[in-house]
Amino acid sequence: MHGIGHGTGISSEELSRLSSLSELGRRAHERRGEGDLSDAAESLVRKVVEANPDDYTLWNYRREWLLSLKGDAHDRLVKVWNDELRLTEKALLRNPKAYAAWQHRVWLLAEAEGMDIDLATRTGFFEKELALCSNMLKMDARNFHAWAHSERVSKIAGKHEPARVVEYTEQQINADFSNYSAWHYRSVNLAEGIPAEDDTALDKLLSEEVDRLRQAFYTDPDSQSAWFYYRWLLNGAPYYSGGKTSDLFNIKDEFLKDELKACQELIDLEPNSKWPLLTKVYLLRRLGMEADAEDTIIKLVEIDPMRIGYYRYLLSSSTMGDGTGCFDRENVSKCAELKYH
């Protein structure tokens, strides 16, 4: 109505707080520009990053200040490091997804040795950190920040054990087939510890992984996490090591044919489930069965019209990574004629 102001939805108290924080941030950035590494500057920056943990520049500024303390008394350094870890905890309580705060925490653990903090204290840091990650994952098994942090910390501490990670991911996957983080870190760690030349062990591992996926598919065929992991397996489970990318498994056509048959069995039970059909397209193209793949894509358009543009793209080009073209003008026309429901 005329004469009535429209509010911003933010209270005057919040506006005042944000204004004060903005001013503090401006002053902190000025101090950094001046190269001020005094305790007064540190105190100012502490206030800002605790309230706004996403400010990468000010976390970098804190690292400059921390490095300037090298050579100070050991007891003081230990106190400062503990205080800094607590600061990141406060920051992450405000925003658990603040990448800059997580990175600062990793830096603190990695840099402790360079600051001449003794081994016993550093070991205590790592044990506390890994326990923290474990507790966070108990509260939320899908917390990808906790998964990533645990992986980084265990490597810095020299305690990274891929076999234990794989075992842990199995527990989490059995509890929830939709746990994308667990599937991802299973893929990251699966290749380590398996000799590439041990064909018997690799065949056994591939069979076990596929059996596990079968359970996930039949429990919830629309859970995309398991299907992403499956596609990774079908591609040979590529992993990066020693400066190059290698395939863990040598996937042969006979295996792909068996998987296509199994995929069709699931489609017979769940004919309108997107992921089995999309995987069938991938398998058909890997086996050079382009006409059947195109028919399956038409079926996908019928059950998933919101993604008609993507399916038209599949029909008109090769996007499955097999290097072959797929262009049937009749099918493209059929796809173009289908309308949103």
pLDDT tens, 90-108? 998 888 888 999 999 999 9
pLDDT bucket at 56, cuts 50 / 70 / 90: very high
Average pLDDT, the chain: 86
Reference 62, options 93, 78, 83; nearest CA is 83
CB atoms within 10 A of CB 108: 22
- Indicate if the pLDDT at residue 5 is higher than 90: no
- Indicate if the pLDDT at residue 339 is higher than 50: no
DSSP H or E segment with residue 244: strand 244-247
* pTM as predicted: 0.78
* % of the chain exceeding 70 in pLDDT: 87
Mean pLDDT of 75-83: 96
pLDDT bucket at 319, cuts 50 / 70 / 90: very low
Mean pLDDT of 299-305: 92
Mean pLDDT of 198-224: 92
Distance between CA 119 and CA 107 in Å, rounded?
A: 17
Q: What is the pLDDT of residue 335?
A: 46
pLDDT bucket at 142, cuts 50 / 70 / 90: confident
For the range 77-86, what are the long-range contacts, defined as Cβ-Cβ under 8 Å and sequence gap of 24 or more?
A: 77/115, 77/116, 77/117, 78/117, 78/121, 81/108, 81/112, 81/115, 81/117, 81/125, 84/108, 85/125
Mean pLDDT of 306-323: 72
* Residues 17-39: tens digit of each pLDDT: 667 778 888 999 999 999 999 99
Q: What is the pLDDT of residue 76?
A: 95
Distance between CA 316 and CA 308 in Å, rounded?
A: 12
Mean pLDDT of 260-273: 96
CB-CB contact of 85 with 105 (8 Å): yes
CB atoms within 10 A of CB 40: 9
For the range 263-267, what are the long-range contacts, defined as Cβ-Cβ under 8 Å and sequence gap of 24 or more?
A: 266/217, 266/218, 266/221
CA dihedral sign, ordered 316, 320, 325, 330:
negative
- Indicate if the pLDDT at residue 150 is higher than 80: yes
DSSP state of 194: S
> Minimum mean pLDDT among 130-134, 173-177, 206-210: which range?
130-134
Reference 260, options 284, 290, 225, 236; nearest CA is 284
* % of the chain exceeding 90 in pLDDT: 63
Distance between CA 62 and CA 45 in Å, rounded?
A: 7
